[in-house]
Structure 1
Amino acid sequence: MNRDVNLRLLRYFEAVATELNYRKAAERLYVSQPALSVAIRQLERQIGDRLFNRDTHSVTLTAIGRDWLPHVRSALREVDAAIDVVADLVGNAEVRVGYLTGTGADLLFELLDGVEEVLPEMSIVTTEFDFGDPSAGLASGESDIGLLRPPVDVPDLESVVVEEESWVACLPRSHRLADRAELRIEELLDEPIIVAPESAGRWRSYWMADDARGSRPAVVAAEAATYEAETTLVARGVGISFTTSSLERLYSRPGIHIVPIVDRPASYTALAWRAGRLSAPARQLLEFMLRRIPNSTGPQS
């Protein structure tokens, strides 16, 4: 057996073992599915046996894969903990904050206002994420803290609501319903719709209003990963989209019209993090940001 197994391959194995689906694991890791398959085969060659049984319909762990998985997970937790410890020891107080496009302009910098005075040694790196990753980097580990709009496909997520918004329909100005004062979701379900990329998972389904469709499939007109792309497609008449009321304030442009949808539950913007995965500096920053949220009552699952 070749004992020179690198950490990347162990993370790939853990992701496939958790998802039991190469496509979902590849999306979670932000790699291509062929690259993930090659990496797993490389790992299997290095350990000298198969880790997965694969056919065209399913992926299952072999006996060796099943018995090895808890040891790999334990090792990955130890490595992550060791990295956090050494970061603290050398004074590396960098914290990565991700935010979903459309949320940072109004909220992120309010939550960070004054942080330089309270935590002067901390280095904060902020990164905007598009609709392809609505977890704002939390799913991949690129972010320690995220400002996002649930729901997202992230295990062990904790969050606190920062803001509540209502649903709106974004329509071409020439659309037959564009002059309405308000709409109900049922009136819009047969319309061609602009949707997020497939990698958005549950978030894409949520903003397609799949819960209201029953057996009626959505007519997907196009995909868009940013509000700029989405509103451009709507203005061109390619389709409509469902979004939040802040769109009118942040991304209004000629060619679109925003109409409130009155019978949808509220959409929330939340400050989020993964339980047990915060370094000491990240916990400090999170506590600072939580104190900036009016009426915050602490973490919510």
Structure 2
Amino acid sequence: MDLEARHLRYVVAVADMLNFSRAAEHLHVSQPALSARVKAIERHLGVALFRRTTRSVACTDAGARFVEHAREILGLLGEAEREARESAYGRVLPVGFYGVAAGELTAEIIDRFREHSPGVEVELKRHGWEDPSAGLRDRTTSLAFVRPPFRSHGLRLLVLGTELRVAGLPSRHRLAGRDSVDVTELLGDPVAVRRTADPVWAEFWSGGGVRPAALKPRLVEVGDVDEELQAVAAGRAITLTAAVAETYFPRAGVTYVPLTGLPPSRLALAWHADETDPACHAFVAATRDVLAGRRAAN
């Protein structure tokens, strides 16, 4: 067999998720098909890329090296695709985002960027919970609006603001009528968490850092925000989320209550520390200008 880009994406997805089922869901293929394809790649290479048990998946040393090179190759392919499109349609700057991007700041930042870079078109690319880097990890985006903390090694972060956390509670929950709730009052409740391979990200949104070591979290794993809210409305779990959820994700049967005792959620612009693209740095400069203007107005 000849290795193709799709084969590299299969291996990288498994390495990112460390779970064949989640990787298959991310790639929109069946889990048995993905397992068979990865095994075929391993047979072709003559080495095992992953150590598999009934409970875990981990990269072998050879697998870690292969994934490192696969990311580089996929990044180069992405650059080639962008350059080809840009030669026909003009310069495109891919900017990833999670959730609602930078909220009301998004349009203001893009408008400021266009004032100084009129020949560059901004392409906003939505990413799901499974990739908190919003495309930066596999370099399918040049910058991204993100919500740290997550595994951000090699990235620079410009914090745009902070946002209080809220608990999404079943409307019949014992604390749903309160004006606010301390997170310690909810540590015994099952928490809905979406699938991700990033333990830093998962811990932050499941109440990590405040739960005693002896009290193991009761987690209800869900696939997306709709499943998360369904689990809450049905009384199966609560969710610990950002206050913006009350505006953008209202749901019958779900009551949002302000939380105390948890650090706020930060919104940031992220980019690679080794980034040399002038357009990226112009976008960062535009963002700094908008933030400075907001501070001066206040």
TM bucket, shorter chain: 0.7 to 0.9
Matched, 1:294 2:295: no
1:164 to 157, 162, 166: 162
TM-aligned CA distance change 1:237 to 1:75, over 3 Å: closer
Amino acid at match of 2:177: D
Q: CA separation in 2, counterparts of 1:251 and 1:45?
A: 46
Matched, 1:50 2:47: yes
Q: CA separation in 2, counterparts of 1:138 and 1:211?
A: 26
What do residues 58-93 of structure 1 show as CA deviations (whole Å, max 9, x unaligned)? 65335xx89x76994897499479749956994842
Question: Aligned ranges for residues 124-135 of structure 1 at < 5 Å?
Answer: 124-135=122-133
- Deviation at residue 241 of structure 1 after TM alignment: 0.9
Q: CA separation in 1, counterparts of 2:32 and 2:153?
A: 25
- Deviation at residue 273 of structure 1 after TM alignment: 1.5
TM-aligned CA distance change 1:164 to 1:41, over 3 Å: same
Indicate the residue corresponding to 2:19 in structure 1.
Answer: 23
Give the TM-score normalised by structure 2: 0.75
Question: Aligned ranges for residues 15-94 of structure 1 at < 5 Å?
Answer: 22-23=18-19, 27=23, 30-31=26-27, 38=36, 41-43=39-41, 46=44, 49-50=46-47, 52=49, 54=51, 56=53, 59-61=59-61, 72=69, 76=73, 79=76, 83=80, 90=87, 92-94=90-92
Moved more, 35-44 or 206-215: 35-44
Indicate the residue corresponding to 2:224 in structure 1.
Answer: 225
Alpha-carbon RMSD: 4.0
TM-aligned CA distance change 1:51 to 1:132, over 3 Å: closer
1:193 to 187, 191, 194: 191
Q: CA separation in 2, counterparts of 1:95 and 1:211?
A: 37
TM-aligned CA distance change 1:277 to 1:182, over 3 Å: same
SS in 2 for 1:294: helix
SS in 1 for 2:47: coil
What do residues 8-62 of structure 1 show as CA deviations (whole Å, max 9, x unaligned)? 656777888x87x9538x8599547766655555555555x43658464765335
TM-aligned CA distance change 1:12 to 1:29, over 3 Å: farther
Indicate the residue corresponding to 1:299 in structure 2.
Answer: none
Q: CA separation in 2, counterparts of 1:238 and 1:27?
A: 25
What do residues 187-222 of structure 1 show as CA deviations (whole Å, max 9, x unaligned)? 101112221224454322211113222232222345
Q: CA separation in 2, counterparts of 1:254 and 1:240?
A: 14
Question: Aligned ranges for residues 179-218 of structure 1 at < 5 Å?
Answer: 179-199=177-197, 201-213=199-211, 214-218=213-217
SS in 1 for 2:19: helix
- Deviation at residue 122 of structure 1 after TM alignment: 0.9
Percent pairwise identity: 26
2:237 to 226, 236, 239: 239
TM-aligned CA distance change 1:100 to 1:119, over 3 Å: same
Indicate the residue corresponding to 1:101 in structure 2.
Answer: 99
User: Gaps spanning 5+ residues in structure 2: where?
Assistant: none
- Deviation at residue 98 of structure 1 after TM alignment: 1.4
Matched, 1:137 2:135: yes
Q: CA separation in 2, counterparts of 1:263 and 1:70?
A: 39
TM-aligned CA distance change 1:212 to 1:90, over 3 Å: same
What do residues 91-135 of structure 1 show as CA deviations (whole Å, max 9, x unaligned)? 842111111113444332232133333222112111222323222
Answer whether contact 1:159 1:273 (CA < 8 A) is retained. yes
Indicate the residue corresponding to 2:173 in structure 1.
Answer: 175
User: Gaps spanning 5+ residues in structure 1: where?
Assistant: 297-301
Indicate the residue corresponding to 2:283 in structure 1.
Answer: 285
Answer whether contact 1:139 1:153 (CA < 8 A) is retained. no
TM-aligned CA distance change 1:293 to 1:167, over 3 Å: same
Q: CA separation in 1, counterparts of 2:33 and 2:199?
A: 21
Aligned residues: 287
Q: CA separation in 2, counterparts of 1:125 and 1:203?
A: 25
